[in-house]
Amino acid sequence: MIKPAQASTPIDTVARCAPMTREPLSADEAEQASTLLKALADPVRLRLMSLVLSHHDGEACACDLGDDFQLSQPTISHHLKVLHDAGLLDRDKRGVWVYYKARRDAIASIAALLS
């Protein structure tokens, strides 16, 4: 059976965009880029993303990520899920803990779009 072609992810699309300082974005490019920026455009998610990125190897256990916030664990988990669903964090379950790894390629693609 032939597998259907996998849909292009927002990160794939943004990675192919020319910097927006050089040429206008198409409607589709802007749609895809805005989904990544929306996922990042929240103070808690920005801090979580920066915490994971600055951890050793850009990877952190969910158990270490709530300490800096006066927020419940389910709220932290919700924000981590938004970042994961957007493709900005990879997730790996090991025993009872979930580890998050930052997708540096995704962050770099957004930076390149704005550069």
Residues interacting with a copy of itself, by CB under 8 A?
20-25, 27, 30-31, 33-34, 37-38, 40-44, 46-47, 49-51, 53-54, 58, 68, 102, 104, 107-108, 110-112, 114-115
**Complex with a copy of itself: residue 31 or 92, whichever CB lies closer:** 31
**Complex with a copy of itself: residue 21 or 96, whichever CB lies closer:** 21
How many C-beta neighbours within 10 Å does residue 34 have? 14
Cβ 81 to a copy of itself, closest distance in Å?
18
**Complex with a copy of itself: residue 4 or 24, whichever CB lies closer:** 24
Phi, psi of 93 (to 5 degrees): -90, 125
Cβ 109 to a copy of itself, closest distance in Å?
9
CA distance 115 to 110: 9
**Complex with a copy of itself: residue 15 or 112, whichever CB lies closer:** 112
Cβ 86 to a copy of itself, closest distance in Å?
11
CA distance 109 to 86: 13
Long-range contacts of 42-46 (CB under 8 A, 24+ apart): 42/79, 42/82, 44/69, 44/71, 44/75, 44/76, 44/79, 45/79, 45/82, 45/83
